[in-house]
Amino acid sequence: MKRIQHTLRILLAVAVAACVSLPAAAQQSGLKGKKILFVYGGWDGHEPRQCMELLKPWLESEGASVRLSQSLDVYTDKELMQGTDLIIQTWTMGSITPEQERGLLDAVRGGAGLAGWHGGLCDAFRSNTDYQFMVGGQWVAHPGGSVDYDVDIKDKRDPVTRGLKRFHMKSEQYYMLVDPGVHVLATTTFRSHPEAPWIEGTVMPVVWKKSFGKGRVFYSSLCHSASDFAVPEALEIMKRGIRWAAASRQASAGAKK
Ligand SMILES: [Zn+2]
């Protein structure tokens, strides 16, 4: 019962967030007809199921077909991976076998998009450097736990962040090791924390996009829990990033012409 109440609370919060008017999102290619593989699992503290339950109805309302998997073995299904437009993964920590990792990396290298947030993408499979090379960053700390912080829009022209303004979060502020080659869309600046005073003033990427082979990779470090998606900007950035990454195959086909 408690869980149902929790889920209802999240759904209500997100419904409210969806009603808050944000500047018109640049309508990137939509999700109509897109085949999305949604892989969820790993450490339960990041509420992988609740996040999936929150995003899946939206993906379907946009016309995407969503296949769910609670097993990383799905990455070894070559045919399925080749027919997938976008992989959404929320899988904190855990481990991945060499075959599963190869399947995922080959799919993205071959043109599938990849999107994720927080630890579900950039704190997964800590010992796999090839995976980290693909996603573009790795979480290392969140000083102070859940803290008040601001997110600054760095790229005001990109369709993912266009029209958005600085916004506030009360959640984990991710301190990450980030590939300098990523395209940073939003950042946050650390205050001093008793446990790590030297990080004061450090500007850290929060949202980025990058390529891996022919594939598009999108990441946001926001949203420790499903209820964090109630922050309208956090949800909107994720939706726009998903749309961008889902157009990966079209974009790489277009580039060939
Ligand atoms: Zn977290």
Q: Which domains does the chain have, with CATH numbers?
A: 29-256 (3.40.50.880)
The first and second tokens of residue 257, run together, are 């012409």
What pLDDT is recorded for position 26?
A: 44
**How close is the Cα of 219 to the center of ligand 1, in Å?**
14
**How close is the Cα of 172 to the center of ligand 1, in Å?**
6
**How close is the Cα of 48 to the center of ligand 1, in Å?**
11
**How close is the Cα of 118 to the center of ligand 1, in Å?**
7
**How close is the Cα of 99 to the center of ligand 1, in Å?**
27
**How close is the Cα of 20 to the center of ligand 1, in Å?**
25
Helix 232-246 and helix 48-61, axial crossing angle in degrees, nearest 10:
60
Longest dimension (CA), the chain: 55
**How close is the Cα of 119 to the center of ligand 1, in Å?**
6
The first and second tokens of residue 158, run together, are 């990109």
Helix (H) or strand (E) holding 86: strand 86-92
Kindly tell me the burial class for residue 61, based on how many C-beta atoms sit within 10 Å of its own C-beta (0-12, 13-18, 19 or more). exposed
**How close is the Cα of 145 to the center of ligand 1, in Å?**
9
Q: Can you tell me the distance from the alpha carbon of 168 to that of 182, in angstroms, rounded to the nearest whole number?
A: 23
What pLDDT is recorded for position 22?
A: 56
**How close is the Cα of 255 to the center of ligand 1, in Å?**
37
The SS3 assignment for 257 reads coil
**How close is the Cα of 46 to the center of ligand 1, in Å?**
6
Give mean pLDDT in consecutive 10-residue pieces for the chain, a chain of 257 residues: 57 53 54 98 98 98 98 98 98 98 98 98 98 98 96 98 98 98 98 94 98 98 98 98 97 75
**How close is the Cα of 67 to the center of ligand 1, in Å?**
25
Is 119:223 a contact under the CB 8 Å cutoff? no
What pLDDT is recorded for position 17?
A: 54
* Alpha-carbon separation of residue 142 from 19, 204, 229, 231, 245 (angstroms): 30, 12, 18, 19, 27
The SS3 assignment for 246 reads helix
**How close is the Cα of 53 to the center of ligand 1, in Å?**
18
Report the half-sphere exposure of 161 (CA within 13 A, side-chain side): 23
What pLDDT is recorded for position 254?
A: 82
Is 33:250 a contact under the CB 8 Å cutoff? no
Predicted model pTM: 0.91
What pLDDT is recorded for position 253?
A: 87
Is 132:114 a contact under the CB 8 Å cutoff? no
